[in-house]
Amino acid sequence: MIVDNALYRKGVRVPVDGDGASLGDARVPCASGDFQWIGIHDPTPAELKQIATTFGLHPLAVEDAGDSHQRPKVERYGDTLFLVLKTLWYIDEEDAVETGEINLFVGPDFVVTVRHGEGIDLATSRRDLEHRAKVLQHGPMAVMYAICDRVVDEYERVGAALEIDVDEVEESVFSPARSDDSVRIYALKREIAEVRRAVMPLREPMRRFAAGQLEGIDEQTATYFRDVADHLHRVSEVVDNLDTLLSTAFDAHLARISVQQNDDMRKISAGAAIVVVPTMIAGIYGMNFDHMPELHWKYGYGFAWALMIGTALSLVALFKKSGWL
């Protein structure tokens, strides 16, 4: 499905005839310096094939663009650059990170963006960019920059959300309440791995774009990509840091369980002692010897109670003092 299709001349959107045309007729003739940007969402294989024919895209790249389980990468086919970006966004209700995919074909005078799944909306990126004629003037590379910037911004938001999650886990681990944090830690580690799989493969190509080691990227565009690369670097640092923090938190969780078990064991033992010692006393006065003077005392029974309660209370005091209760 075509989401939007426009021609840009000197950084300004030019009205295009037949905006709602079929994919086969989507190509707009470009004068020198112009470029076309067409956005597609969840295309069928047939639609992709039409687009491929219209813009002369390489079959292998088109095959990849039809599959939403690619790893992020940048590949060059002739004078067309093919970019696969993983989009990430955070669903607050589920404390979960969701992933989508954006494919970009960046030619000398066109950009084709193919988006899979929900999540990041390219329409806002396009609108933003259309208000920044100065950036848009740099042609297709400006579009590539705008989309990368948008995607990486979302990465940073995801990173920030995960930081809050890790803070929560941390608090839970060190709170006196007993909680089974291992499920939560595991889930977070899985999500961090997902973020890393989206972020890491992009770092090298962004670095290369930032260094201007790519035909078609002038120095000023390179500066923009340096900004993207820098943000990407920040995300990857945040995520690495969270990962090691979680590992440490997990170890602390283990130590905590052991300490709690120890505390429980001592509490239990103290409790047992308080019952077992009076039982022994009762047992003694339950013996059947002929000559047991205490049994015939007038206050013998009271004495036995006093003894039992007394030892029990002494034990309570003793255990309280030694921290077992």
Report the C-alpha gap between 151 and 235 in whole angstroms. 12
Rg over alpha carbons for the chain, rounded to the nearest Å, is: 35
Mapping DSSP onto H, E and C, the string for 238-266 reads: HHHHHHHHHHHHHHHHHHHHHHHHHHHHH
What residue type is assigned to position 236 of the chain? Answer: S
Closer by beta carbon to a second copy, 92 or else 289 = 289
Residue 271 as a binder of a second copy (CB under 8 A): the answer is yes
Contact set for a second copy, span 285-314 (CB under 8 A): 285-301, 304, 308
- Which stretch in 11-19, 44-52, 65-73, 120-128 sits in contact with a second copy by CB under 8 A? 65-73
Q: In whole angstroms, how close is the CB of 171 to a second copy at the nearest point?
A: 11
> Which residues share a beta bridge with 57?
none
Rounded least distance, CB 28 to a second copy, Å? 28
> Quick one: how many helices (H) and strands (E) in the chain?
9, 7
Which of 21, 269, 307, 316 touches a second copy by CB under 8 A?
A: 269
* Binding segment toward a second copy, per CB under 8 A, in 40-48, 108-116, 137-145, 226-234: 226-234
The one among 255, 306, 309, 318 contacting a second copy by CB under 8 A? 255
Per CB under 8 A, 234 contacts a second copy? yes
Q: What is the DSSP string of 65-112?
A: HH-TTPPPEEEEETTEEEEEEEEEEEEGGGTEEEEEEEEEEE-SSEEE
Interacting positions 105-124 with a second copy (CB under 8 A)? none
Does 53 bind a second copy (CB under 8 A)? Our answer is no
SS3 of residue 177 by DSSP: coil
Interaction residues for a second copy, span 165-224 (CB under 8 A) = 170, 174, 178, 180, 182-183, 185-186, 189-190, 193, 197, 223-224
